[in-house]
Chain A
Amino acid sequence: AQSVTQLDSQVPVFEEAPVELRCNYSSSVSVYLFWYVQYPNQGLQLLLKYLSGSTLVKGINGFEAEFNKSQTSFHLRKPSVHISDTAEYFCAVSFLYNFNKFYFGSGTKLNVKP
């Protein structure tokens, strides 16, 4: 069975501080990994994705994530956050030949304080 765990439901952080949002997954087969962001009253927007190749993936808005196969993790990082990064972040996995069935984590609400 596949599952995605986001260990932190909420992460408060001050503006310009670094942040890491944690994501672990469980799967017996190779996965594709994604981070999506959701702003209030909006749909989800892709931040970055790992399909293959380099395990360090850079995305939009200065975010990056590193795929660690041995630890089955895909943590999201940003060296310096802004107020505008306040949103909910979702980690997701999918699989080759899976007809776009994504499994999402429960989400992490990032609250950036001035």
Chain B
Amino acid sequence: NAGVTQTPKFRVLKTGQSMTLLCAQDMNHEYMYWYRQDPGMGLRLIHYSVGEGTTAKGEVPDGYNVSRLKKQNFLLGLESAAPSQTSVYFCASKESGPADTQYFGPGTRLTVL
């Protein structure tokens, strides 16, 4: 099993450009999450999904959109990138139990110039 994978690993964008980050998991997990991690701050939840076809907003959803068309994939879109979105983005997944462990992907390092 590959676990949770993320594409791409690194990306540099110019302000105003758009991009999509892809997260894939092969563990048949119901829940999937997108976080961002910035220096000196805890992981912050952007959006999450409790199952195929569902999405919900997290703590910092502005400027991002998501889709979960297939159970194994969770896409994070930036429509018009801003320098404030420079960050490391982590995807995570877990089974459906409320206290189940989240498993993280390797992260995407995004720089917006």
Genuine A/B complex? no
Report A's interface with B, CB cutoff 8 A: none
